[in-house]
């Protein structure tokens, strides 16, 4: 959560802590109810909403959260929330 742009996989984290990526995936799902990928996406959306509400531009937010382009970020945001970032913020 300290580095929302991180793309480290559960295999990477498993190597750091002496467990397999599959074991971490099972534990993560049991404890959070989400896959690691879904959790990371939700965390990034929550962080994006905070940053956008503070007035940061979409391009900056998308790059700081690890997306290759603003359009890729907007597509993910729309998939998760049902709206573009601009519309989402306007409706809140």
pTM as predicted: 0.85
Q: Which domains does the chain have, with CATH numbers?
A: 10-91 (1.10.10.60)
Distance of CA 54 to the CA centre of its chain: 18
pLDDT score recorded for residue 74 = 97
Q: Residue 82 has what pLDDT?
A: 96
- Residue pLDDT, tens place only, 25-81: 999 999 999 999 999 999 999 999 999 999 999 999 999 999 999 999 999 999 999
Q: What are the tokens at 67?
A: 């997306």
pLDDT at residue 1, as a whole number: 84
What is the Cα 45 distance to its own chain's centre? 6
Burial 47-74 (b: 16+ CB within 10 A, else e): bbbebbeeeeebeebbebbebeebeebb
């Amino acid at each position: 959560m300290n580095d929302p742009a991180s793309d480290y996989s559960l295999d990477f984290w498993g190597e750091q802590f002496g467990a397999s990526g599959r074991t971490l995936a099972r534990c993560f799902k049991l404890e959070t109810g989400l896959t690691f990928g879904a959790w990371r996406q939700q965390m990034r959306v929550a962080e994006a909403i905070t940053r956008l509400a503070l007035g940061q531009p979409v391009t900056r937010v998308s790059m700081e959260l690890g997306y290759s382009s603003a359009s890729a970020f907007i597509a993910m945001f729309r998939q998760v929330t049902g709206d573009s970032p601009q519309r989402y913020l306007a409706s809140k």
